[in-house]
Amino acid sequence: MEGFFDAVNTVITTIDDFVWGVPLMVLILFGGILLTVRLGGLQFRQLPRALRYMVKNEKGGSGEVTSFGALCTALSATIGTGNIVGVATAVVVGGPGAMFWMWLAALFGMATKYSEGLLAVKFRSIDENTGHVLGGPFYYIERGMGKRLPKISWRWLAKIFAFFGMCVGLFGIGTFTQVNSINTAITNFFDPEKAFTISVLGMDYSIATVIGGIVVAVLVGLVVIGGIKRIASVSERVIPVMVVLYVGFSLVLLLTNLDKIPGAFVVIFRSAFGLDAAAGGMLGAIFIAMQKGIARGIFSNEAGLGSAPIAAAAAQTKEPVRQGLVSMTGTFLDTIVVCTMTGLALVMTGAYQIPGLEGASVTTAAFQAGLPLPFLPPEVVSFILMVCLALFGFTTILGWDYYGERCLEYFSNGSMKAVKVYRWLYIAAVFIGPYMTVSAVWTIADIFNACMAVPNMIALIVLSGVVVRETKDFFKRLNDAGGKEEDMVPHKNHDDVPPIDSLTDRLGAKTAQEDRAAAAQGFATA
């Protein structure tokens, strides 16, 4: 069995190296740079406003959840194990320089995330009978690019995005990586020596791993069956708690090691440009740092991936620009704040250089080495990190179930029967996640991420003019109203894209009526 897994790892690693080559990294960075330039650095100029909008829900507007609820749903999928395990993986493989490229990708990615949120609201579809919202890249690819390039039907590209979106949720970010990381942390805390094991599929696993996998699968099932409203409700309560807990935990480490922070930044910048590598290996070191930093950055904040706009489309808002600004804060909080804290901890303590450690174990070693004793003994540190990792992973699982369902809903032309089957497959994938190897699950996630990013980035580049026009229109109306949102002239859809009933239009009246009832039951349950 081990030989089989080794062969699988070799194959998927080869595929990963191909899809995350220079072309994709250039496409993602080019898209972010293009949007940044065309928007005049909006992510820097309007960040304070975006942070205000983040905690202030818009009055009125159509949608299924509040703007904050939509953001928390998106954050539940972005602030996850990537912030703890993903950063560690990037730094271990790509060196400390991976952090620099992660930051760079995030800064440009804020413009990307803004554009995604804006377009998601602008081109979304709302079922007038149930209030059910469907939107995201598949709609702004089909409808937005259809308006810009009308001679070509772009639904095939939207279908490709939706297909890989399902796969990312079912086999990538949403399930395997998260539950694997959760159970690794649980096992490392409760049974680090793996003294109590049972055989599963011919391989020995700790009882803690098996029990943890079952518990996570059951909890996920109890939430996802309730649909977007229950996912948003849980996320609104859990996300603030887990962010405050981890950020507070990290701040203690940074404040008690202030003298090491400047040196950590020096190491990061030197490594980013291969200055510590031998002359012949400089370019190779830079490329590896770029590859791992950008890949893990996208895995963590999902800017350019096209997942967050699926949640943004459900927001109760009448202003696409406003929701775009709210969406943008997700990348800032995820990478610039949370990932930076993890990365600095790894570099300051040198934990990334400890042989034999991978994933969550690297981050745990960093915090154990950097936090003051005896106030925070290693056992307490391990427990807090285990709790953080469990919460991060759990909320990401919930968020990606929603993304996968919406992708499938579009891909299957609105079939809620297919969505119900997907939910149970999703729960099953969560159940088997603990038994996948760490390297394998992260590599699989990277591959599917790339396949999602390509059609989404193409659409963002093509529709950049629409984003610019909507942005100028919003701030003109805001200035005309003296800066008072309540006095603004209502938003007008300049592209003449009327709301459509995706169920009726795509399935026919009879089938739509049956599935509409199922949708009302599935999505209205709180």
| Mean per-residue pLDDT, 464-478 | 92
* Domains of the chain with CATH codes: 2-524 (1.20.1740.10)
Percentage of the chain exceeding pLDDT 90: 13
* pLDDT given at position 522: 41
CA 410 to chain centre: 20
- Burial class, 241, CB count within 10 angstroms (exposed 0-12 / middle 13-18 / buried 19+): exposed
pLDDT digits (tens, 9 = 90+) for 138-178: 889 988 887 777 777 888 899 999 998 888 888 777 777 77
What's the helix, strand, coil split of the chain in %, to 5?
75, 5, 20
* pLDDT given at position 464: 93
* pLDDT given at position 439: 65
pLDDT digits (tens, 9 = 90+) for 399-449: 788 888 888 888 888 787 888 888 888 888 888 777 766 666 667 777 877
* pLDDT given at position 525: 35
Cβ contact 345:83 at 8 Å: no
- Per-residue pLDDT at 42 exceeds 90: yes
Of 87, 182, 156, the C-alpha closest to 455 is 156
pTM for the structure as a whole:
0.81
* pLDDT given at position 501: 46
* SS3 label, residue 273: coil
Q: Show the tokens assigned to 417.
A: 């029967």
Cα–Cα distance for residue pair 251/243, rounded to 1 Å: 12
Q: Name residue 198's beta-bridge partners.
A: 205
Cβ contact 102:343 at 8 Å: yes
Half-sphere exposure of 221 (CA within 13 A, CB side): 14
Percentage of the chain exceeding pLDDT 70: 79
**Residue scoring higher pLDDT (498 or 419):** 419
Cβ contact 114:39 at 8 Å: yes
Cβ contact 367:45 at 8 Å: no
| Mean per-residue pLDDT, 247-253 | 85
pLDDT digits (tens, 9 = 90+) for 347-371: 988 888 888 777 777 888 888 888 7
